[in-house]
Amino acid sequence: MANDGPDSKKVLIIGATGVIGQHITEALANAIASFDEVGIFTSPSTLQKKGTLIGEWKNSGVRVHVGDVNSERDIKRAYEGYDTVVSALGRNVILTQIQLIALAEASSTIHTFYPSEFGTDIEYGPSSATEKPNQLKLQVRKYIRDNVKKLKVTYLVTGPYSDLYIGKMGGETNAAGSFDVQAKKAVLLGTGEEKVSLTTMEDVGRLLVAALLTPTSNSERILKVNSFTTTPKEILAEYEKQTGAEWEVSYTSLDKLKELEEQAWERKVPFATVFTLRRIWTEGGTLYDERDNEKIGNPRVESLEDQVRSAVRQQTKPPNDNGPFARIGSAI
């Protein structure tokens, strides 16, 4: 395994308590012995709301920096002494990264930056440039390519999070694909035979740690990684196997999915993005001839069986039992 770039030994995570940020921070906390320092940057309000979780990380050796992500002074102060920044900011604040990147570029210590690119590949093909959910991330990439000269930038492209793809949807989004363990009902997308590449949220953290431990001298590195590739029908078969029951199945065709997507954007509902992303995935926008897992040491990843087992446990746990997901939470 090549080690021809600067080492990431002191890592700062921004967006550490978000949907994917929690898994990334958890993985880094578990691997803290491999680094000289791991820190997070969070706001005073988040520290108050998620104090228990942050306290657990602090007890494991993670440093906690508190401030305003929009404050140049606070960010500069947090950056002091770190060599790598990992951004896990959510879609709604993704452009905040432009200032974070500019300040990292000007920093005397930071040499590596991981933008919040976890999820769907925003440069998969020619049509990616016009997809609505990609626009803000594309602006960030353009800023990096036009302005960054010093930093090494790694994009960790994971594709869809399997935890959400194989989970239970509700309301109008049920038609965008759903697996309901209690009701033994599934809504499959397309014909049910279209392949989709998925990464578990825990594996996003593991793969990120592996990437950090595999430095590069390239100014830009795009790593396309995953946990497994499957189909809606294969997911259903695994659910039926693990629950010992035959499920009731319906389908949302690709044409119907496109219709629902168009209607959602016309109505300007917040879940319009869900329909667009699931249409992209059903069209094959997650598939590649090769994966880059081996380039970062081929870390252990979860299987479809593992994910379904977790989903069954999550959907059937008692109402007052927070279970193993209490710290991580869920979102869609």
Q: Which residues are catalytic?
A: 137
Q: Establish how many alpha carbons lie within 13 A of residue 233's alpha carbon, considering only the half-sphere containing its beta carbon.
A: 6
d(CA 264, CA 276): 9
CA distance readout (Å), 73 to 43, 66, 99, 111, 173: 14, 12, 12, 19, 41
Angle at the Cα of 40 (from 208 to 107), degrees rounded to 5? Answer: 85
- DSSP letter for 136, please: H
Strand order in the sheet with 10-14: 63-66, 37-42, 10-14, 84-87, 112-114, 152-157, 220-224
Task: In whole angstroms, give the CA distance from residue 13 to residue 24.
Answer: 8
What is d(CA 266, CA 263) in angstroms, rounded to the nearest whole number?
Answer: 5
226 and 48 in contact (C-beta within 8 Å)?
A: no
First CA to last CA across the chain, in angstroms?
A: 36
- Bridge partners of 157, per DSSP, are 224
What is the Cα–Cα distance from 103 to 150, expressed in whole angstroms? 12
At a CB cut-off of 8 Å and minimum separation 6, what does 284 contact?
194, 195
CB 257 within 8 A of CB 176: yes
The residues pairing with 13 across neighbouring beta strands, listed in sequence order, are 40, 86
